Amino acid sequence: MEGNALAVLGLSAQEEAVYRLLLRSPGIGLAVIAHACGADEDGAAAAVDRLRDLGVVRGATDRSAFSGVDPATAVDRLARLRIHGLQGEIRQVASSRHLIDALTEDQQAGQRAAVNELQQVEGLDQVIACVDELSFFAREERLTTHPGPILTAALDAVRSSDLKYLRRGLRMRTILHTSALDCRQVDRFASELAEQGAQVRGTTGPLERMVIFDRRTALVATDPDDITRGALIVRQPGLLAHLLSLFERRWSQSCAVADELPSTAERQVLQVMARVDKDEAGARELGMSLRTYRGHVASLLRRLDAPNRFQAALAARDRRWI
């Protein structure tokens, strides 16, 4: 027989080799055993000692000569010892239900962690407070999207919070939908953000409502069309990575508000240009000097790449500037 045939009885390959050698060459000592088995004396001695403990090898008290017991006795002894050991293992397995409690505790800990990764925030006041709190603890960057008009009830609180954290040094990137910029207050808010160092972009494309703090925590509206219904705090890494990818894609598809959007005065000039032919009448209606009025007109014609006032008004409407 080749290989470790006695492994089923609990012997290692080296122990089996020593036992077989002692059956073939009884009365040999450790040096011969080690040489014949290709092992050092320490390894041979360890194998012989275990075989003696198992009762399948006999040896002189001076360890000068060893021999193996007859195979029938050896196999019977090893089989009984093996069965006894297996019975102990079976008893341990059968009594393993006590492990359920410890494993259940681990499961519950994991479930608690999962809950912490997704938290519900209800009501507009709680959402505003949550944004302020998460902004306070943010240390690097905040990413924000406004897919539509900012509620008047929230605008003052949002403005105050944003400007406070910008002054503290928090980097901000904000995407505003052009429909939000139709509101004069939001338009001024966007200008203030840009003046304080925030990067602000506008888009006419689809936009979700979310805020991401330090790329580790996100706040997502449970209903994009109604922020008063609450939001979901997301800390789950997979969902967070998806939201970050979505924000970066929306950012790449938007344009810089500071470069593209008109100031409040320019919007007023555009509205008057669409109705009044004469510069003098337009300047008088807005209460500004003729020179200032014409300066705005020239700047708008250039930015809108329009050859005349009529074309400029059309282009402004297309861009939702008026």
Q: Which residue did the predictor score with more confidence, 279 or 156?
A: 279
CA distance 160 to 142: 15
> Residue 34 has what pLDDT?
87
For the chain, the farthest-separated pair of C-alpha atoms sits apart, in whole angstroms, at 127
> Residue 110 has what pLDDT?
62
Q: Name, in order, each residue with C-beta under 8 angstroms of 198's C-beta and a sequence gap of 6 or more.
A: 162, 166, 172, 173, 174
The answer, yes or no, to whether residue 109 has pLDDT greater than 70, is: no
For residues 22 and 57, the answer to whether their CB atoms sit within 8 Å is: yes
Region 226-233: what's the mean pLDDT? Answer: 85
Region 115-121: what's the mean pLDDT? Answer: 77
For residues 78 and 56, the answer to whether their CB atoms sit within 8 Å is: yes
Q: Which residue did the predictor score with more confidence, 118 or 280?
A: 280
CB atoms within 10 A of CB 181: 22
> Residue 310 has what pLDDT?
82
The answer, yes or no, to whether residue 247 has pLDDT greater than 90, is: yes
The whole-chain average pLDDT of the chain stands at 84
For residues 210 and 289, the answer to whether their CB atoms sit within 8 Å is: no
pLDDT band at 113 (very low <50, low <70, confident <90, very high): low
> Residue 217 has what pLDDT?
94
CA distance 237 to 116: 12
